[in-house]
Amino acid sequence: MSHLHLNPNVSASPIYVGGASIADIRAQVGRDDIAKLASNESPLGPSPKAVAAMQAAISELNRYPPIADDALRAALARVNGHGLSPDNFITGNGGCDVLDMLATSFLDSGSEAIICRPTFPMYDITARRAGAGVVYVDLLADDFLYDVEAILSAVTERTRLVYVCSPNNPTGSILPAAQMDTLVEHLPPHVLLVADEVYHHFATHPEFSDSLEYVRQGKNVLVLHSFSKAYGLAGLRLGYGVAPVEIAQYLSRAKLPFHLNQMTLSGALAALDDADYLENTVKLVVAGREYLHSALAEIEDVQVWPSQANFVLFKPAFDAAEVSARLLQHGLIVRPMGQFYLPTHLRVSVGLPEENERFVTALRDVLAGLVAEGAEKADTAGQKKEGGAFKF
């Protein structure tokens, strides 16, 4: 490999590290009752209608899927409304695939992208892989809100993409509609605003932005959605962007042929047709989110932030990696936030009610153990100091 000519942008770009798997942790800690609350997956899984449709598609896997995803885009236009047409939609092998299309299509070594940390690291990874410069306009430290004026001030002639995530991963905060209006109206025409709203189903805040309306108006906005969260289809890898027709059609040139497999197409269409299941999933998650936030807020050694997504961000008074490791011994997987620019924080996904309660109980036990160990060390250190003084 030493003689090969490597792309320096690819060589220098970070590698995304996914959450730990149940199988790996089961083998590591030697117990079967593992609860994965790390990757913001649906606690209920996919709709039974989607499962049945995917099972039926198995018998046709010797055939290529349609090279055009017309039926899926038509269904997406129907479900999302706003007078959008199938031509407003660009589908991808997960939301990350759409992010990669965006970076490939809009960024190069002479351009810049604006990213607001802490947030989803794939914006950074895909932008750097395209050779673009990355400009950070970090969220406000106390409440993780966006500083829209600072974003606008950071825009230059080289800026091509501005990424905002609402609800934001990993903070759960949103970009309110008034701020979104300001951003859309004041960004120059050579900049595309990428609004990652893959957690939008769980947003209940009255000020959550109706971003699809900007698309309908033809603004330079692409809204990113996913089937991985509320639809419970993370394993299928399906995401999509919604943008003005010209932008969506341009991005479609960055797709590979047959970019969606037949099981994905069949499962997605069936999932979109099961509104009741989606509604029940969202209700369960929102209730679980409120329970987790309230329970964590009552723990003395934890700082927690309100969330509009299907997870809750918290900061323990002890080393986050140590807390995570000890939770693993209880059979609970949460996500350390080092790769999300927050090495002192952890993120817990909403699970089933019994999983949420189990997590809170285990966290209390872990923190109590750390408090006791700290007190014991302090007492031992004090005794040694007194002993040393006595000898002299």
Question: Is the pLDDT assigned to residue 385 strictly greater than 50?
Answer: yes
Mean pLDDT calculated for residue range 185-200: 98
Mean pLDDT calculated for residue range 64-89: 95
Q: Which tokens in the block code for residue 228?
A: 């991985």
Same domain (yes/no): 352, 367: yes
Nearest CA to 218 out of 243, 186, 195, 241 is that of 243
Predicted pLDDT of residue 6: 87
Express each pLDDT in 304-337 by its tens digit: 999 999 999 999 999 999 999 999 999 999 999 9
Could you give the dihedral angle defined by the CA atoms of residues 118, 122, 128 and 131, in that order, rounded to the nearest 10 degrees?
Answer: -140
Predicted pLDDT of residue 3: 86
Same domain (yes/no): 290, 313: yes
Same domain (yes/no): 82, 30: no
Mean pLDDT calculated for residue range 351-375: 95
Same domain (yes/no): 331, 208: no
Classify residue 332: in a domain, yes or no: yes
- Domain extent at residue 372: 8-44+276-387
Predicted pLDDT of residue 382: 59
CA distance 201 to 214: 18
Domain boundary, last residue among 244, 274, 304? 274
Across-strand partners of 315?
303
Percent of the chain that is helix, strand, coil (3-state, to 5): 45, 15, 40
Same domain (yes/no): 191, 54: yes
CATH of the domain at 92: 3.40.640.10
Question: pTM (2 decimals)?
Answer: 0.93
Classify residue 357: in a domain, yes or no: yes
Same domain (yes/no): 255, 308: no
Burial of residue 98, with CB atoms counted within 10 A of its CB: 0-12 exposed, 13-18 middle, 19 or more buried = buried
Same domain (yes/no): 78, 37: no
Classify residue 59: in a domain, yes or no: yes
Domain boundary, last residue among 228, 251, 274? 274
Classify residue 260: in a domain, yes or no: yes
Please give the C-alpha separations between residue 295 and each of 162, 174, 237, 332, in angstroms, as whole numbers: 35, 22, 33, 17
DSSP 100-125: HHHHHHH--TT-EEEE-SSS-THHHH
CA distance 302 to 296: 7
The mean pLDDT value of the chain amounts to 94
CATH of the domain at 288: 3.90.1150.10
Please give the C-alpha separations between residue 56 and each of 48, 59, 238, 243, 266, in angstroms, as whole numbers: 12, 6, 19, 32, 9
Domain boundary, last residue among 237, 258, 274? 274
Express each pLDDT in 111-155 by its tens digit: 999 999 999 999 999 999 999 999 999 999 989 999 999 999 999
DSSP 333-388: E-EE-GGGT-TT-EEEE---HHHHHHHHHHHHHHHHHHHHHHHHHHHHHHHHHHHH
